[in-house]
Chains A and B, each alone.
Chain A
Amino acid sequence: MTVEWDWIADHTGELTALSVSHLQAALTAVLLGLLISLPLAVLAHRVRQLRGPLLGIANVLFTIPSIAIFVLLLPVSGLTRTTTVTGLTVYTLVVLLRNTVDGLDAVPAKAREAAKAMGARPLRTLLTVELPLALPVIMAGVRIATVMSISLVSVATYIGDGGLGQLFTDGFQRNFPTPVLAGVVLTLLLALVADALLVAVEYVLTPWNRKGRRA
């Protein structure tokens, strides 16, 4: 199996476009997933009775095979980007929801108490104390969800989208390994870079965790 560098050189424009589209699908899904799971997680955290059902639903959704999700969505949104993103979003929910709930659980009771005792109302406590303190655990979820989404985008090739995944079908159909290899390497690169960026974002957002013990 040899790599035909000429092919790669001839297709850089296409490869770049596919990478961008791939990343776009994955990141949009994670962002939507966050927007949906944040309020749900807060609800699950505050109302004990809702925690079981909400986490349960997310778990069940996660067990649906990915192709099946796209197929199920076809009658609703057809062969579009929306279908891809919606499918991926469903998968991010399970990890984002669970980690956000866990993160909120891990906020020291003392800090929450202190905010209340100083006269902060619940929304302010959530935004300025609970979410910042839950951030490391939430970010761990975001990292998993991002990497997972990046690897899952390819599945959407079956509905005509799929970013870099299109390289796989192309390569298989023509029995030509170079596009397949390029797709694998690029997917890996995207995942690595996205993960590294998220680590950097967390580092910037949690200055209290990086300063060493007593200076």
Chain B
Amino acid sequence: MIEFRAVHKRFANGTTAVHDLTLSMPAGGITVLVGSSGCGKTTTLRMINRMVEPTSGTIHVDGRDICSQDAALLRRSIGYVIQQSGLFPHRTVLDNIATVPLLLGWGRRKARTRAAELLETVGLAHDAGKRYPHQLSGGQQQRVGVARALAADPPVLLMDEPFGAVDPVVRTQLQDELLRLQKELDKTIVFVTHDIAEAIRLGDRIAVFRTGGRLVQCATPAELLARPADPFVADFLGAERGLMLLSLIPLGDLPRRPVPEGGRWELVLGPGRRPKGWRDRSAGDGDGALLPVRPLRDGDSLLSALNESVGSPCGLVVRVDTEGALTGVTSREEVHDRAGTAHASAARAASAPPEPAPRAGDHPPVADPAPASAPGTTGGAP
């Protein structure tokens, strides 16, 4: 657990980078700091490992005041992924990763063995270890940065826009791997980004900053999206805020119906009852090309269901089990309706935390598309 208490940072030139920050970042969770450029995210992060000393206020990591510890020793106990990798250009990838273990006096052999292990953890080939940073792609360098931060197995990890310099595909891949790693390693992670989608994807809690280093809101992603504290946050979250909220809600037990018999569209199944595509019966000979289908599992989000329902020729979302075998279909109307109620109840839950979270069963599906089901228009409390 990392606790900021009334922390203030004013630089010598008079810039206030962080203003009266009181914030706790739970152990074993990912806290994301977001906000536009220059709002004090990096400064906040760097106060945790004393790369920046607060002007006033205190910071505790796991109950200990960081200022009571030797700065160098503190830093060795906190993993830090520096904005745009910050690797040592004169050291091989392996030696870059081994930096902190060497500082901790593990000895060269043990440090190298550990570094080689981490290459694998972050998905790099073994022979990448002998290369120098400039011989790697941006994405590979970022992975090395993460590996270096993890090397001494620190309980706390600070990550400053670690996936900033890579294309969206690699970025998504790195995000997935971070989530997978986090499941295994259970670190307390502070993650800086200015990409709100990344924040929603990774964060257990999201802290939104505004210029002048003021914390505006700190909440879970669902809470933030459903009930932004003020117009600034709403604006920052953007016009697709409603859709982003849907991306957090699983399809779950939204009712499945049998595939309708007859009608224009026929769902063609392959071996193992795996859906292959829609065939247009009205095309006659039955030889017509299949329209593609992307079947959804229960863990998929309402947003992907909404997307499927829009793309499906007959408005039906195809559902499968974990093996990929057909379990039924759900109509566009049911998806829309659930999206609407989920949205409203997320907002309600956010405004009154004690109220139990909505369950899928509480809201029997209604076949008729209510006006309130249009996503993206809701968001405030009813």
Contacts and interface: CB of A to CB of B under 8 A. Distances in A.
A57 interface: no
Given A119-B73, A120-B72, A208 B103 contact: no
B126 interface: no
Interface string B48-90: 0101000000000000000000001111110010101011111
Nearest to A108: B89
Contact of A211 (B51, B73, B132): B132
B183 interface: no
Given A110-B82, A215-B131, A117 B51 contact: yes
A39 B103 CA distance: 24
Interface string B307-348: 000000000000000000000000000000000000000000
Interface of A: 108, 110-111, 113-121, 124, 129, 132-133, 206-208, 211-215
Nearest to A135: B90
Given A118-B148, A208-B134, 5 more contacts: A111-B86, A118-B103, A129-B88, A208-B91, A211-B132
A115 B137 CA distance: 22
A208 B89 contact: yes
Nearest to A121: B72
B89 A133 contact: yes
B135 A213 contact: yes
A117 B135 contact: no
A214 B135 CA distance: 4
Contacts of A215: 131, 135
A207 B84 CA distance: 23
Contact of A208 (B75, B76, B82, B90): B90
A110 B87 CA distance: 8
Contacts of B82: 110, 113-114, 117
B136 interface: yes
A127 to B, nearest CB: 12
A93 B315 CA distance: 82
Contacts of B89: 108, 111, 133, 208
A30 B75 CA distance: 39
B100 interface: yes
B99 interface: yes
A206 B90 CA distance: 8
